[in-house]
Amino acid sequence: MTEISERQPRQKAPRLALNPRNPSMSRVQNMTLSTGSSIDSENSHRSKNIPMIYQMYESQYEDLRGTIYGPSSPDFHPVQASETLRSSLHGLDTKDQTIINTVLYHNNFQRQKILGAYEDMYSRKLLEDLEEECGGFFFEMCQALFKPAPNYDAQCVYKSLSQLRALRETYLTDYRKSLDKDITVKVEGVVGKMLNLLLCTNRDEGLGIKLNDDLVAKHVKILSNVSIDDIAKNVQVFEELFIGHSWKHIGAVLDKFDETRIDLHDIETVIRRNKTIHSEIRLILLTIARVSRSIQIYFAEKLRTAMTHERVDQSTIIRICVSRSEIDLQDISLEYKRKYQRPLEHDICQSTSGEYTRMICTLLSGFNNLENSFAPTPESIEE
């Protein structure tokens, strides 16, 4: 089943500052960045607001916190960052920690400026230099961090579809029948229709969205009058309850529904124990229930699953940590600790190694616990 997107727009959070020189800077949405050529002079005061496409990947809820937001405009110097990275990559020894600090000191939009500045200054591509000097999961994470946020999402979806395509081809080879047609025959195409609705229908999210009590009550009533089997078979009921509404709304509906069933099992237990519906539909319904209640717990569980596989799923670890870093990664870490009684960083260290470990742990900490939380400079490298 296709994963719920890692970049759900969420509510705005007061984030912990990565740069103690700017403790008053609380929101990247208000940040302005230099424009003009990709190389900005220190005297340039031209600026523009961060593009809307990148605002989609920031925290949107007041009570959620990411770990990365980057410096405000006066303290953002792509030329200096490029010089620092070049100094770290050029020479006998690659200074991995300086690379980590420089990359994670900036947000995704600022990293695009750094890529341009680096190429203009040195006629070289930064990612090619990183690949030459680093490699492995460390470089894979650098790739993810430097890829524009919307492009990274598209890449993750493409990989999922590629895996589905490979599965379809294998199914055809092994069973001499089309997976699509077999699914249509066996489950009446409901899985595909549900996934299509989830992936292709806009969801009413964003700052300031308020619950409609009348609509919540209406959906609770619908849910009370149908069974899980009915929802699993009837796409119209599924669409009415779960498509186009905010996760906050769906969570409120499920909570109100559970309140009416005080002496009975909660809806997640009912879904999980139902063995008559198709397993993929059960997983879809369970995922909707878990994400609507707490998307942070959902991702904490996904990280735990990725780390407890016989072979650690590093791609999932990178995908979640990178895609949620400017949204709610700090809250995911807190939920992980609350649920599993140990810090996420502890389990990450057990599942990874080398500079790759240091990069993920730095991303999780958001520089908040580092002694040197200022952006590195070329001069500091030469010392």
pLDDT tens-digit map of 363-373: 998 744 343 34
Cβ neighbors of 338 (< 8 A, separation 6 or more) are none
pLDDT digits (tens, 9 = 90+) for 48-65: 445 655 555 555 556 668
Report the alpha-carbon distance of residue 270 to residue 251 in Å, rounded.
16
Residue type, 197: L
* CA dihedral (136, 114, 102, 337) positive or negative: negative
Cβ neighbors of 313 (< 8 A, separation 6 or more) are 305, 306, 307
pLDDT digits (tens, 9 = 90+) for 144-160: 999 988 787 777 777 76
- Mean pLDDT taken over the chain: 78
How remote is the C-alpha of 215 from its chain's centroid? 29
As a dihedral over the C-alpha atoms of residue 63, residue 1, residue 249, residue 27, rounded to 10 degrees, the angle is: 30
pLDDT digits (tens, 9 = 90+) for 211-258: 899 999 999 999 999 999 999 999 999 999 999 999 989 999 999 999
CB atoms within 10 A of CB 60: 22
H/E stretch holding 34 reads: strand 32-34
What are the DSSP E strand ranges found in 216-279? none
| pTM of structure | 0.71
Report the alpha-carbon distance of residue 84 to residue 88 in Å, rounded.
6
Cβ neighbors of 328 (< 8 A, separation 6 or more) are 10, 13, 59, 61, 64, 65, 66, 295, 296
Report the alpha-carbon distance of residue 69 to residue 17 in Å, rounded.
8
Greater model confidence, 367 or 126: 126
Separation in Å, CA 335 to CA 133, 296, 368: 36, 7, 18
Angle between helices 314-323 and 136-146 (to 10 degrees): 30
Predicted local confidence at residue 167, as pLDDT: 67
Say whether pLDDT at 297 is over 70. yes
Report the alpha-carbon distance of residue 106 to residue 297 in Å, rounded.
26
